[in-house]
Amino acid sequence: MTERQWQYNFGFLDENTKRMLRRGLLKAVAIPGYQVPFGSREMPLPYGWGTGGIQLTASIIGKSDVLKVIDQGADDTTNAVNIRRFFARVTGVATTTRTADATLIQTRHRIPETALCEGQIMVFQVPEPEPLRTLEASEVETRKLHAHQEYGLMHVKLYEDIARFGHVATSYDYPVLVNGRYLASPSPIPKFDNPKLDRSPALMLFGAGREKRLYAIPPYTAVESLAFEDHPFAVQRWPHVCALCGSGDSYLDEIITDDAGHRLFVCSDSDYCQAQRTLQEGMA
Amino acid sequence: MTRPILSTRGLCKDYGNGQGCFDIDFELYPGEVLGIVGESGSGKSTLLATLAGKLAADRGQVRFLDRDGMAHELTCLPEAERRRLARSEWGYVTQHARDGLRMNVSAGANISERLMALGERHYGRLRERAGDWLDKVEIGADRLDDKPSAFSGGMQQRLQIARNLVTQPRLVFMDEPTGGLDVSVQARFLDLTRRLVHDTGIAVIMVTHDLGVARLLAQRTLVMQRGRVVETGLTDQILDDPQHPYSQLLVSSILQA
């Protein structure tokens, strides 16, 4: 394996592509929430598996970085394992599963429970960067709506949710207003994670490979989840605690354990769950 | 003396093949309904789209007076400004409800959209106003959560009216609003529109190929042929005493019925 490694450039992408991506990222950071077009490349993974996130990671990763990759909050799922191994091969950088040790975290669907700190970078894999897409099919029109800051349309979706279900039933990819200006899709993270975006000390980068768009939320940027005055934004809550670590304030996954209908609620963030258990064993 | 809400001078939109509209002059006063009649291809819809800024004019001026009494020259208005006017001061009722409505969201969301675009963020109040308007257009507040696709053609047109009038615009453009409706539904729609226009005091520019529709609604009428206005005047006057041969043809074809 190590003998073949020289055949690839550091981080798989060639230097010109990385430069193009970095220029896009600089623009994205300068205009928080604005979708910057970029020339998405063919990656050794199919679209929909996180090619946008992989390209962003490849363009910013350095030799001293420590990489963590999560999928649905877990470090040990197929996508997470494969993307982590991919970068270990084409860059040789250190990888970790511990949130606090990582400088670069690529993610699909979750933001880690452990609070992020300054200097850390989150890279999100985004399937659909345009929050208005389900309501307005034309890209020409949605770009105009962004340009003129006409976001009343987004509330049509929330209105429709309340009219049909009695509450805002959108539970993931919940639209946010970044820095009081651009409407953005936070990628399919549960709305449970939306408050973590607000004034986060970490840099948040979003890449959509198939749609060829990238956008960013710089550190300490105000991120507001849309809502109605009489139906304020609220995150999911569970009547359970995690069956493994007993945590009552993390995002829980429901796991069916047998054919008799038994189920288990456990933390979706596997690193956080493990850390909680280690802590308890230490105290016992 | 009241000033005209909309006045045009020498407005031209030339498609380059002799089609379009040419040298259009008229004035529209607050609370007035202006009918534009003419056969297919006579440039009525082109004129309407040019007035509403959906098409760029080639020559001429269109001056619009907003509710604060400020005059805007529409032919050279920046797009952001034009969209603001379209949101807050104008309405646009299309011939096909599908072009004017969001068919995949409920009637309530359709009516509330313009309110939300203007910044209303209170669900309860939105719903209340949407319900009021459904009652006003004789659909009934109990249909608030039904999608427009479950409505008949006449109801869809009335929903378009409600969706446009909810923000109390001062000028509404209507492009053949009764085009696809049968005669009895048409009559009901016209009756309702006449009442709402009377109650709210909005100005309307309505394009139609049917002089009968203009007779019921419009105080003044422009008759268009091949992109030019061939006759203009009070609707009754045109009906009673048409001067231009084309107007005479139109009138003779309706009054016999």
- Residue B7 CB burial class (10 angstroms; 0-12, 13-18, ≥19): middle
**Contact with chain B for residue A232, Cβ under 8 A:** no
Least confident of A266-275, B107-116, B163-172, B211-220: B211-220
Whether A24 sits among the annotated catalytic residues: the reply is no
Annotated domain spans of chain A: 15-225, 237-284
Q: Which residue of A has its CA nearest to B78?
A: A148
Whole-model pTM: value is: 0.86
User: In this complex, which of B114, B115, B124 lies closest to A230 when CB atoms are compared?
Assistant: B124
Q: Which of A142, A228, A231 to mutate to test the interface with B (most CBs of B within 10 A)?
A: A228
Q: Decide if B126 and A159 are in contact by the 8 Å CB cutoff.
A: yes
pLDDT in tens, B12-61: 999 988 888 999 999 999 989 999 998 888 899 899 999 988 889 999 99
Nearest CA-CA distance, residue A123 and chain B, Å: 32
Q: Which of B77, B79, B82, B116 to mutate to test the interface with A (most CBs of A within 10 A)?
A: B116
Percent of residues in chain A assigned helix, strand, coil, to nearest 5: 30, 20, 50
Q: Decide if B109 and A153 are in contact by the 8 Å CB cutoff.
A: no
Cβ atoms within 10 Å of A141's Cβ, excluding its own: 13
User: pLDDT value at position A275?
Assistant: 93
The strand pairing partners of A203, in sequence order, are A121
**Contact with chain A for residue B113, Cβ under 8 A:** yes
Radius of gyration of the CA atoms of chain B, in A:
18
Domain containing B119 equals: 100-168
Phi, psi of B174 (to 5 degrees): -125, 125
Does B252 fall in a domain? no
**Contact with chain A for residue B118, Cβ under 8 A:** yes
Q: Decide if B102 and A156 are in contact by the 8 Å CB cutoff.
A: yes
pLDDT band at A284 (very low <50, low <70, confident <90, very high): confident
Nearest CA-CA distance, residue A174 and chain B, Å: 17
Six-digit token string for A98 = 């511990």
**Contact with chain A for residue B122, Cβ under 8 A:** yes
Q: Which amino acid is at B159?
A: L
Nearest CA-CA distance, residue B126 and chain A, Å: 9
Does B212 fall in a domain? no
Q: Decide if A155 and B124 are in contact by the 8 Å CB cutoff.
A: no
Q: Decide if A159 and B144 are in contact by the 8 Å CB cutoff.
A: no
Sheet holding A223-225, edge to edge: A182-184, A176-178, A223-225
User: pLDDT value at position B1?
Assistant: 58
Pick the catalytic residue from A11, A24, A33, A52: A33
Q: Strand, coil or helix: what is A183?
A: strand
Q: Which residues contact A284 (CB under 8 A, 6 or more apart)?
A: none
Residues in chain A, how many? 284
**Contact with chain B for residue A135, Cβ under 8 A:** yes
Whether A117 sits among the annotated catalytic residues: the reply is no
Are the C-beta atoms of residues B173 and B90 closer than 8 Å to each other? Answer: yes
User: pLDDT value at position B255?
Assistant: 55
Positive or negative: CA dihedral A162, A165, A170, A171: positive
Cβ contacts of A162 on chain B, cutoff 8 Å: 123
Query: By percentage, how much of chain A surpasses pLDDT 70?
Result: 98
Q: Which residues contact A19 (CB under 8 A, 6 or more apart)?
A: none
Does B150 fall in a domain? yes
The 3-state secondary structure of chain B, one letter per residue: CCCCCEEEEEEEEECCCCCEEEEEEEEECCCCEEEEEECCCCCHHHHHHHHCCCCCCCEEEEEEECCCCCEEEHHHCCHHHHHHHHHHCEEEECCCHHHHCCCCCCHHHHHHHHHHHCCCCCHHHHHHHHHHHHHHCCCCHHHCCCCHHHCCHHHHHHHHHHHHHCCCCCEEEEECCCCCCCHHHHHHHHHHHHHHHHHHCCEEEEEECCHHHHHHHCCEEEEEECCEEEEEEEHHHHHHCCCCHHHHHHHHHHHCC
**Contact with chain B for residue A159, Cβ under 8 A:** yes
Q: Which residue of B has its CA nearest to A230?
A: B122
Q: Decide if B122 and A230 are in contact by the 8 Å CB cutoff.
A: yes
Whether A245 sits among the annotated catalytic residues: the reply is yes
Please give the interface size between A and B, counted as residue pairs whose CB atoms are below 8 Å apart: 59
Segments of chain A assigned E as strands: 36-37, 66-71, 94-95, 104-108, 121-125, 176-178, 182-184, 203-208, 213-217, 223-225, 252-256, 263-267
Question: Looking at the predicted complex, does its ipTM rise above 0.90?
Answer: no
Please determine, for residue A6, whether its predicted confidence score (pLDDT) is greater than 90.
Answer: no
- Considering the domain delimited by A15-225, tell me its CATH architecture: 3-Layer(aba) Sandwich (3.40)
Give contacts of B 181-240 with A, CB under 8 A. Answer: none
pLDDT in tens, A200-253: 999 999 999 999 999 999 999 999 999 999 999 999 889 989 999 999 899 999
Please determine, for residue A47, whether its predicted confidence score (pLDDT) is greater than 90.
Answer: no
pLDDT in tens, B58-72: 999 999 998 888 899
Q: Strand, coil or helix: what is A135?
A: coil
pLDDT in tens, A7-34: 788 999 999 999 999 999 999 999 999 9
Cα–Cα distances (Å) from A35 to A161, A167, B119, in that order, read 26, 29, 24
Q: Which of B82, B85, B99, B105 to mutate to test the interface with A (most CBs of A within 10 A)?
A: B105
Q: Decide if A230 and B109 are in contact by the 8 Å CB cutoff.
A: no
Nearest CA-CA distance, residue B161 and chain A, Å: 18
pLDDT in tens, A152-203: 899 999 999 999 999 898 899 999 999 999 999 998 999 999 999 999 999 9
User: pLDDT value at position A216?
Assistant: 97
Are the C-beta atoms of residues B204 and B217 closer than 8 Å to each other? Answer: yes
Cβ contacts of B130 on chain A, cutoff 8 Å: none
pLDDT band at B182 (very low <50, low <70, confident <90, very high): confident
**Separation of CA B16 from chain center:** 26
Cβ atoms within 10 Å of A156's Cβ, excluding its own: 21
The DSSP letter of residue A44 is S
Question: Which one, of A49, A59, A172, A165, lies nearest residue A110 by Cα?
Answer: A172
User: pLDDT value at position B256?
Assistant: 54
Please determine, for residue A83, whether its predicted confidence score (pLDDT) is greater than 80.
Answer: yes
Question: Which one, of A62, A59, A68, lies nearest residue A102 by Cα?
Answer: A68
Mean pLDDT of B79-87: 89
Radius of gyration of the CA atoms of chain A, in A:
19
User: In this complex, which of B80, B105, B122 lies closest to A156 when CB atoms are compared?
Assistant: B105
User: pLDDT value at position A2?
Assistant: 53
Q: Decide if B145 and A150 are in contact by the 8 Å CB cutoff.
A: no
Are the C-beta atoms of residues B129 and B115 closer than 8 Å to each other? Answer: yes
Phi, psi of B199 (to 5 degrees): -70, -40
User: pLDDT value at position B257?
Assistant: 46
The strand pairing partners of A224, in sequence order, are A177
Task: State how far the Cα of A102 lies from the Cα of A272, in Å rounded to an integer.
Answer: 13
Q: Decide if A162 and B145 are in contact by the 8 Å CB cutoff.
A: no
User: pLDDT value at position B210?
Assistant: 83
Query: By percentage, how much of chain B surpasses pLDDT 90?
Result: 57
Residues in chain B, how many? 257
Six-digit token string for A163 = 């009219």
Question: Which one, of A284, A247, A283, lies nearest residue A265 by Cα?
Answer: A247
Nearest CA-CA distance, residue A181 and chain B, Å: 14
User: pLDDT value at position B54?
Assistant: 87
The DSSP letter of residue A211 is T
